[in-house]
Amino acid sequence: MKTEGWPTEVRLTVVTDPDMRTPEPSAPHRGLNVEDFQKTSLWWSIRKASSLLSPNKRRLLYLAVAIQVSLAFLDLVGIALIGLVASVAVSGIGVTEVPEWAQSMIDALGLGGLTVSQLSVVLALLAVITLVTKTIASAFMSRWITRFLAARQAEISTDLARGFLSLPLASVQRWTTSEAIYALGAGVHAASTSLLSAATTIAAEAFLFAIVGISLLMFDPILTISAFTFFALIVILLQRILSRWAARNAQTMKDASIDTLTLPVPTVESASIAD
């Protein structure tokens, strides 16, 4: 190895100074893995991910999530309007009369003077407008939240990279290249955009399910419990069927991979004889 032009003192310092050597990683496999970290709860992960944002950006995110969750009331209004349409349509053919709660809602909307046909059309249009408005508003808010978190992800990655590269060389060399790339890139994406966006969607859907379920339970407990039991059985049945299919496909892929790895590799002599 040629070292012309290198000062002897610097060359000796590089070799003998223990602070400039790469420290051994604490993990026995000379790197960090997912199993090296303690398992945490989902709520802790969401709180930790939101703490990466600045206080102003965090409050803005909470406001957007509150708006996204509150859109569930539009679904509740749309379901109530569909129920009014059904009640009015049934009363129009003389089977039953309009219930008192439905008549009071119709009078509150100022539609008491309309005929049954006109009232059915107006209520159906109101239900469609309400549900379509909710869908468009929810899609817009989801898009805004995703773009907002993507912008915050870029800021967090920039700040982390700046802080990481400003550390001493010995501290930087404690991490492998793959660990640093993941922490500054895919790791930030998983902690910010993926986790927080999914948490927002889960919160909105859980609130929608809760408010609709509670409203239906107050209106007709027996019908609500029967419908919940029916759909729960369908979900359990589908989960069992899909899990069996997934396990079978995984076993097929595993066997195919093992067969591929155990195939004999042709040598040069066998190839020449075949020719």
The torsion defined by the Cα of 43, 44, 50 and 52, in degrees rounded to 10, comes to: -160
| Cα–Cα distance measured from residue 175 to residue 181, given in angstroms and rounded to the nearest whole number | 10
Contact (CB, 8 A) for 196 and 165: no
Please check the confidence at residue 275 and state whether its pLDDT lies above 70.
no
| Cα–Cα distance measured from residue 222 to residue 216, given in angstroms and rounded to the nearest whole number | 10
The conformational region for residue 5 under phi > 0 = left, psi -120 to 50 = alpha, else beta, is left
Global pTM reads 0.64
| pLDDT tens figures, 144-172 | 998 998 888 888 888 888 888 888 887 77
Distances (CA, A) of 264 to 57, 269, 271: 59, 14, 13
Contact (CB, 8 A) for 196 and 149: yes
Mean pLDDT across 84-97: 68
Predicted confidence at residue 133, as pLDDT, reads 92
Please check the confidence at residue 227 and state whether its pLDDT lies above 60.
yes
Mean pLDDT across 39-45: 76
For residue 96, the Cα-to-chain-centroid distance in whole angstroms is 46
Predicted confidence at residue 47, as pLDDT, reads 83
Supply the mean pLDDT for the chain.
75
Which is more confident, 228 or 10? 228
> CA-based angle 90:96:101, to the nearest 5?
85
Please check the confidence at residue 35 and state whether its pLDDT lies above 80.
no
Please check the confidence at residue 136 and state whether its pLDDT lies above 90.
yes
| Cα–Cα distance measured from residue 178 to residue 30, given in angstroms and rounded to the nearest whole number | 12
Q: Which residues contact 14 (CB under 8 A, 6 or more apart)?
A: 20
